[in-house]
Amino acid sequence: ISKINDIQVLNLHQGPTYSFKDVGCLIAASIYKQLNLEDTRTIVATSGDTGSAALNAFSKEQLPITVIFPGNERISNFQTTQMMNFHQCTVLGVHGDFDLCQQIVKKEIKKNSLLSCNSISLARFLPQVGYYIYLSHHNQHPLNLVIPCGNLGNVASAYMAKKLGCNINEIYLAFNSNKGVADYLNHFNKNK
């Protein structure tokens, strides 16, 4: 945790791939290894950072993994380069957006009984709840959180921590131009 004036910043970018998902992916890979799931492939959809974090974690545990990402330049060169530097992993770019990648992953999980390391996997999702439990534990006053997100895994982690009794007040979602969830929520709120 670092401080900028009265604002606290939870630095979650200090893992091996500079992604807040590093901890969750490392724990998920370790859990799958402990459960003797070495012969079950994990499949992941990514818009960039999940892919690198999952590839790093699963390659360390020598577990089979496939990452699917939008291959039409919708992720950064840095993230693409990171993903292409792991050995014994399958990385596939598709013509489409992240939502298409997620559709493919969900279909393959159901069809072939594969594992996931996206936020639909409790093995990755639950460790992220720990970020907000930690933050809450180090603060005496209720917190207002601003969480950058493309999808809702990180926000859902904060919300779960709040429901578990952490001193979290408001949770705000921050989006960049990849704002499909924001567009959906705004559409949903307009139609209430």
Instruction: Say whether 162 is catalytic.
Output: no
Average pLDDT score over residue span 25-50: 93
> And the tokens for 54?
């999952």
Please, which residues have CB within 8 angstroms of residue 38's CB and are 6 or more apart in sequence? Answer: 32, 62, 63, 64
Helices (H) and strands (E) in the chain, counts: 7, 8
pLDDT at 119: 85
Using alpha carbons, list the distances in angstroms from residue 160 to 48, 56, 63, 137, 174.
Answer: 24, 26, 29, 15, 18
Say yes or no to pLDDT of 177 above 80: no
Element (H, E) at 58: helix 49-60
Amino acid symbol at 124: R
pLDDT at 147: 87
Q: How far apart are CA 43 and CA 23, in angstroms?
A: 18
Whose tokens are 């590839």? That residue is: 55
Q: Which of 3, 21, 111, 163 is catalytic?
A: 21
pLDDT at 144: 93
> And the tokens for 132?
């907000």
Percent of the chain with pLDDT over 70: 95
Nearest CA to 164 out of 124, 135, 121, 123 is that of 135
Maximum average pLDDT range among 15-24, 31-40, 138-147, 170-179: 31-40
3-state class of 116 per DSSP? strand
* pTM of the predicted structure, to 2 decimals: 0.85
